[in-house]
Amino acid sequence: MRSEETLQKSLFQYVGTGFGLFDCKMKTFNSNNINKKCMRKVNLVFLFAIILSAIFIIGCDKSTIVDPKSTDDDYLKQQSLNAEELAGFIASEDISIDDGAERDMSYDDFGMMKTTYPITPLKWGRKVDKVTKTQIVNRINDSISVVTIIKDIEGKFIIKAVKDSGDVVDTIKVVKPFTSKIIRKVRFLRVNNDRDVRKNWRPIEITLVEGKTSVKDFSIGTLEVMSSVDTATITDPLTYWARLAPGRGGVATLRPGDSILVRLTVTSTNAKPEFAMLRHGIDNGMSRHRARFRMELVSETGSDGNYTRMYEKKIVARLPLGLALGHYNAIVDVMSYDSINDDVAPFMNAFWGMPYLVKRF
């Protein structure tokens, strides 16, 4: 990489040529008759050079740059969050589950869904206030390391609802503080034994993401993700590995407009069906897009505190304008019935998320 001084000089020359600065050099000046047009060009070139230099400096300060003297474990922790193959999936977890405020039961920030309700009888949303990240490195052998990424979430579950108290009907806002834990694993392969740790490891596989509150009266049993060419069945999100490469066993790659069917099985002690939502979202650094859709309850069996329910929903791959590639998680997000319909019951939640890519070309 060229030095910062060399790059700034090159930028100045490039921008200066574009603005005709060097044409000004060919002109003859004297102290009493300065070419004002050329001086304006000089000032404009300096302004652009400063802006471009600042962009370069900021880019070089990104957390993806690692001290070559750092340890393997330090590098693995950093790369588990920031490696090009992983960063989009890790960021998608947070944006997908964070509604920001109470929202309609189903909503779509991608701008592709039209509401089917003449009024909004209920709004709710999860607002994430704090995320604390911890990474644990497990050396399986000399060639393989696994990094477990743990996120401790603090936030508020917000409900806007109509409360009928006999003769009085009020619109109320209920806020339920919550904490939850999110876990995902990344597998790295050693590709070198260089003293520079940046040359030694490459991420090769990623698990699903799992999140849950400490208290809940249900559990997710299985998740099925069905595309036109393959079906994935997951019973444990943290032992199901997807390769960070195309082909069978790899992270699914979709085109905009492709659809996948997501089917979810839940076991519960509650006689009232859960709210099962299908979410996805993307944060491209300049804007955030997220969507949430209610899954359909397609079957229910059992009785007396032992119920098995199946939910399903299709999801359509989307990609915001201007992006050629997007990293997503198809997240099944399950909440107890009383989480939304009772103003004093605790927020009970569990979710699993399957990584996938959307590629325009």
Mode of pairing for the β-strands spanning 288-294 and 275-283: antiparallel
Alpha-carbon separation of residue 276 from 17, 224, 294, 337 (angstroms): 59, 14, 6, 10
User: Is this structure's pTM higher than 0.95?
Assistant: no
pLDDT tens profile 271-288: 999 999 999 888 777 778
Look at residue 67 in the predicted model and tell me its pLDDT. 58
Closest by CA position to 263, among listed 314, 211, 307, 335: 314
Give the pLDDT band of residue 168 (cuts 50, 70, 90): low
Give the pLDDT band of residue 171 (cuts 50, 70, 90): confident
First to last CA, the chain: 30
- CB-side exposure of 314: number of CA atoms within 13 Å? 7
Q: Which two tokens stand for residue 20?
A: 């005709």
Q: What is the mean pLDDT of residues 298-323?
A: 93
Percent of the chain clearing pLDDT 90 (strictly above): 48
Q: Is pLDDT at 326 greater than 80 in this prediction? A: yes
User: Which residues contact residue 315 at a Cβ distance below 8 angstroms, ignoring those fewer than 6 apart?
Assistant: 259, 260, 262, 278, 280, 293, 330
- Three-state SS at 73: helix
Closest by CA position to 161, among listed 143, 174, 145, 144: 174
Q: What is the mean pLDDT of residues 325-350?
A: 92
Contact yes or no for 180/149 (Cβ under 8 A): no
- The stretches of the chain forming alpha helices (DSSP H) are 4-18, 21-25, 36-60, 72-82, 87-97, 337-341
Q: Is pLDDT at 350 greater than 90 in this prediction? A: yes
Give the pLDDT band of residue 94 (cuts 50, 70, 90): confident
Q: Is pLDDT at 52 greater than 50 in this prediction? A: no
The pair phi, psi for residue 49, each rounded to 5°, is: -65, -40
- The one-character DSSP state at 100 is S
Torsion sign, CA atoms 63, 64, 67, 70:
positive
Rounded CA separation 170/320 (Å): 39
Rounded CA separation 150/138 (Å): 14
Rounded CA separation 223/301 (Å): 17
Contact yes or no for 302/243 (Cβ under 8 A): no
Q: Which two tokens stand for residue 61?
A: 């300060």
Question: Higher model confidence: residue 170 or residue 307?
Answer: 307
Q: Is pLDDT at 62 greater than 70 in this prediction? A: no
Question: What mean pLDDT is reported for the chain?
Answer: 80
Closest by CA position to 359, among listed 261, 263, 254: 254
Query: Alpha-carbon Rg of the chain, whole angstroms?
Result: 26
Amino acid at 216: K
Give the lowest-confidence range in 19-23, 97-101, 164-168. 19-23
Q: Is pLDDT at 71 greater than 80 in this prediction? A: yes
